[in-house]
Structure 1
Amino acid sequence: MTATAFCLHALGSSSEEFALLRSELAGDLDLVGIDLPGFGRSPASAGTTVEEMAVAVERAIGASGATEWALVGHSMGGKVATVVADRTLSGANGLFGLRAVVLLAASPLAPEPMAEERRESMLAWAEHGRIRPDHAAEFVDANTASTLPPDRHEMAVHDAERTDPRAWRDWLLRGSREDWSADAEPNPAPALVLAGAEDGDLDADAQRRLTMPHWPAAELHVVDGAAHLLPWERPVEVAAVVREFWSRRVAPSPVVPADTARVLASPRVSARTRGVLAVRALPDDPATEPRALTARQLDTLRAVARVVVPQPGPQQVDLALRLDAQLAAGQGDGWRADGMLTDADAYRAALDVLAPIADSGDLPAALEDAAAGRLRSDGPLDAGQLRTWFEDAGVDLVKQWLAHPATMSDIDYDGFANGGDGVRKQGFQLLGAGQREAWEPEGTAR
């Protein structure tokens, strides 16, 4: 099943700007454009602040029923997409299933850089009503590296002309100036940030300074021969970058089944629990540098994980990478056996012993020896300590596997849905063996 990408357009545009990208990405992603209030066919009465636009988008995503989805935000839509993504991963907006974010010449959470002279000029265009055709053409031409082909130019100009003057002015006077950065936590979702090589205010330098710090798992790509209107200017090139990013960075990770995702998005699950599980469901990036281990130690831990917790199929959780993050954060169980090294040091020492064994292909037998207390080394851990470490490592790896909501679905666990944030907690009514409530997903038969 193809994932859905909800696309949020730029100022003076509409969902029509994604028509070419939609054709290019057909079969890889199903692009669904959303007209923000006051643009395209959407009335401004729905509200034109960033908050109101974000709520409109959240309602559209919820109404769609999508359970595996991405956000694509262009310029103004990039700011809105970031707010929606942040609220999704906190669990606050009741949505679940976000896989990644693509930002095209995005307006940042902080106030958007814009010369005041240009702002005043653009405001004057809508002072007495809708934007005139000559001003609309001036706006499009000023935001492209070269003149668009006639059909694209005509549509882009038409979008600017039909923009509600209130929405145009509200973005320039307020929305672009709103500062959402002060309280925004870094967002761990995979993010692809694109910038036109000939953009003015929102070029690659601006994206590095204003956008990238919010996305620790982001990649920046510069589109040559383009300025600000990337979907109109370079749809083939943009689609190619998005396709490669999705296939490499997102597609190899497990997807939470639709029935379980719908329960997670329901009032039966608290916002805090939904947010925790939304972050756990994000794709791993195998290219991430380890934080507690060396690169070789991490590769050895991956080999150990394949023996201890074999995962069938091509979509797998990177248990070793998640365990490395646990070690770096000091989030163990809080105790260790008498005489044992700290968790991180014990992992480093044990993995150094196992690395040459893993290279030779004899790891399963060596792990059996470790479990029996027969594995010896010249390092800081004796055979008994290696056995203790391997017991802890097995527990840690299994915990990381079970913590993923796709695994919870696979083992038919839905205990997280015991009540939401309301006064009355729904709980479970049917507690007998083999009994299943009407709302429970079917899970996987065992």
Structure 2
Amino acid sequence: MTLAYEANCDGLVGPTHSYAGLSPGNLASALNAGEASDPRGAVLQGLAKMKRLVDLGLPQFVMPPHERPYVGWLRGLGFGGSDASVVEAAWKSAPSFAAAASSASSMWAANAATVTPSADSTDGRVHFTPANLVSNLHRSIEATQTTRALRALFPDPTQFVVHDPLPAVAHLSDEGAANHVRLCAEHGAPGVNLLVWGKDAFEHWPSADFPARQTEQASAAIARRHGAARPILARQGKAAILGGAFHNDVVCVGTREALLFHETAFEDKAATLESIRRAADGLFDPAFLEISSADLPLADAVKSYLFNSQLLVVPGEDRLVLLAPSETEANPRAHEAAQALAASNGPIGRVEYVDVRQSMANGGGPACLRLRVVLTREQLEAANPAQRLDEGLHAALTVWASHWYRDRLLPADLADPALLLETQGALDELTSILALGSDFYDFQRD
């Protein structure tokens, strides 16, 4: 077995972080629509979470935010003139498109891609498929820049394969690693890849208010193109989706041998767990940690985001650490369930809480903010070193964000021409900090 580590690649919150309510089925997004956000506070919360993992001894990388407002995309819709004129005209005549072009949703890196580590791929390289995110307008415009970002972070073709996204059609709707869990004995050992889908592309889904985003066909295509070993395609529980679990990671999280899930997570729970057992036979013994609706009603699971916690393998500790959002601690039912996990003799040894309230107000917890990538030591060294968080980078990004980011932003402020200049200035400086080159963003190429 090759020694490997689970690195976290967190999305850096962008300067246009706002509560515009753009995501159907996301209850927090809808609840907080129109409220004032704090972009500076949001990015600093995200950086603090990243630094916490570094302090625990875990590899942590930073993924840059996307260019927002995305002027180039708006130009493709027929708006012309200066960048400021494009943004102004779009807000006047096509505000829905202007809002989509201003969304900072790329911060949720769990939706950036699906990843197959080298231990599970046919050719021994790490495979990435950037998510096409066609379910939502504001996220569907992310795929090209996400692909560019992943190729900048993982540039060595002998170690990494960053595929193009799946075709941007509804039949292949792909939401990334938010619907993927890898289980294994050790990170460098062969594993089982659980890919959870919400609907068959050819069936009728009963609710436009709570759509099923991931298609079975997209999950199958990713498993094929990655050559992913021991793939298991399981259907997410319909009741969970209709209850606000728009991604599987709202009701399920796993790492190593442990799979923590709500009882509503899978449409056919017994068949899903049996498939995992069979695939893991001879490799490891899965530890299934189920929390019932009696102990934690689905509404509390969605509100508290207990299952959107990070499960961490911390060096020197025999049991996993559950890094949960502060909302879990504040919810009595969820807090009790989390503490019960730590009090048992199971794989979770302790629970810690982290403040990511700015992200949570838009329906994204600690796990939403990160893309997990299992890397060998050689692969870690092949990643862009300027994007690996340490004391120096954390300090530099803190100064950078404090200089460029506003501490209050209303959705109406997204039309402010000054915000466009602020975001371009911030991102231009960021490309130097992260050694991304002077043409990483479209606006730098004009």
Shorter-chain TM-score above 0.5: no
Higher-helix-fraction structure: 1
- Looking at CA atoms only, which structure, 1 or 2, has the larger radius of gyration? 1
TM-score bracket for this pair, using the shorter chain length: under 0.3
- TM (normalized to structure 2)? 0.24
- TM (normalized to structure 1)? 0.24
